[in-house]
Amino acid sequence: MAEVIAALTALPAYLLFHLTWLIHSLRRPLLLVSLLCLLSNPSAAIKKCRLFYMTFMYLAFCQDKKFKIPKDDPAAYFPVEFGGTAAGNDSNAVVKSKKVILIRHGESTWNDTFNPGGRNIVLFILFYVPNMIKAIANEAYFFIAGKESDSWFFDSALSSKGVKQIMGLRKFLQKEKLRLGSGNIVDEREEFAVKALLAVGSDSSCTSSSSMVVSSNLRRAISTAAIGLSDRFAAQHKDDNILLLPSLQEISFNPDAQTILPAHGVAHPTWCDINIPGIGDKFSSLIDTQYHTGNKPIDSTGLIRLNQFVSDIFSTKCPKETVIAVGHSLFFRSFLQMFLPRNVEHIGKKKKLVNGGTVMVTLGEVTLADGKKVYMIDPKSVVVVYGGFGKHTKK
């Protein structure tokens, strides 16, 4: 038995050795093919080479995750009824508020290659090298074929598992839609969230005229919005689309967190965006890139984008009362850490929102005497609609 276990644990190293040997043996043909690719489709090849260069630069110099949550407690500026601790004249501050529904994207191809997810850790280790070979082969194919808007590692798309996760959200919303008005939904906040997500109901605060969908500029988030909320978009409400907000881009220096989409460019469908029910070939026209300014600057930090995101929510970019934001785990965890009162203990401050997880909060804005704006989440407003945090999930 011990010999079998030893053989199994040695298998990844054995495969890695042979993979290295294979790449070394094929280095000349690979270089020749790469040269032919450069000559046959120079623009696509140059763009891919630029991605490799930018990845090196971000890995070496990006400060995206190097920030600390400010110690200043936003609760000091908000009245008690909003969950704050303001006293005296500060307690009379006028609070503007909006509902914000957070949806985390499904598993990506990057996650599929590098993260165990829910898989058995032993199987993950055993199949790590074969999965890596698969990933490299796909990336090589995209490069050789001149598919400049496709990549396994850069701005990674949803994996097949990720699509199933988001289809789970879509099916949940379809089931909940049948229950609307029946009294079987115990939490009124959950019912409000379901109506807003689907843009249905007699309540004007839940229709497409008062709710909107925004997304990170990364492909897995865009696909999550299109697939998970496809029944909403299938209804073809006027001016109902997916607005890209660069402020929602994930907090990471990894290549999967670098957007492929050029500034104000056309968002082309990935493999999972073709023939989405109710959307069909209208995917690209569904994505609004008017505010998409390209990849995050190398000197950007998550703190800068978190502040920009809450500012965007209350700006003319987001004129609706309910904003459905599709994004990423580290960004949303930092969002809750930063804008929930400092003394509030919440699992979302420590655990990531699961893939496809959906949570609704009420975000408040207060303008101080000096014109400075302060933002805070009402701690009483946080409600899990679908999924949850870590192992604490709701289906």
The pTM for the full model equals 0.86
- pLDDT of res. 295: 93
Summary mean pLDDT of the chain: 86
Closest CA to 156 of 74, 68, 234, 258: 258
Give the model confidence (pLDDT) of 204-235 as tens digits. 556 667 899 999 999 999 999 999 999 999 98
- Output the pLDDT for position 301: 94
Q: For residues 89 and 96, give the distance between their C-alpha atoms in angstroms, rounded to a whole number.
A: 17
pLDDT at position 313: 98
Look at 6-15, 112-121, 191-200 and tell me which has the smallest mean pLDDT: 6-15
On the question of pLDDT at 88 being above 50, the answer is yes
Task: Band the pLDDT of 9: cuts 50, 70, 90.
Answer: low
Residue % of the chain over a pLDDT of 90: 55
C-alpha–C-alpha distance, residues 325 and 151, integer Å: 24
Query: What local confidence, expressed as pLDDT, does residue 29 receive?
Result: 66
Percent of the chain whose predicted confidence (pLDDT) is above 70: 84
Question: Of the candidates 171, 188, 216, 206, which has an alpha carbon nearest to the alpha carbon of residue 308?
Answer: 216
Helix, strand, coil shares of the chain, percent, nearest 5, are 50, 15, 40
Model confidence at 55, pLDDT cuts 50, 70, 90, reads confident
Q: What is the pLDDT of residues 183-204, one digit of tens each?
A: 666 678 898 999 999 998 655 5
Q: Is the pLDDT of residue 146 over 80?
A: no
pLDDT at 138: 83
Which tokens sit at 261?
A: 């989409």
Cα dist. 152→114, 131, 139, 158, 366 in Å?
12, 12, 6, 10, 43
Question: Mind listing the pLDDT tens digit for each residue in 56-74?
Answer: 888 888 889 989 999 999 9
Please check the confidence at residue 15 and state whether its pLDDT lies above 60. no
- Residues 271-300 have pLDDT tens digits of 999 889 888 889 999 999 999 999 999 999
Mean pLDDT of the 138-167 span: 87
Q: For residues 205 and 321, is the Cβ–Cβ distance under 8 A?
A: yes
Q: What residue has token string 């949850």?
A: 388
**Mean pLDDT value of segment 103-120:** 87
Q: Are 297 and 251 in contact (CB under 8 A)?
A: no
Which of 338, 329, 328, 336 is closest to 304 using CA atoms?
338
Of 324, 344, 258, residue with least CA distance to 295? 258
| pLDDT for 8 beyond 50 | no
Region 35-43 average pLDDT: 65
The model's confidence at residue 24, banded by pLDDT at 50, 70 and 90, is low
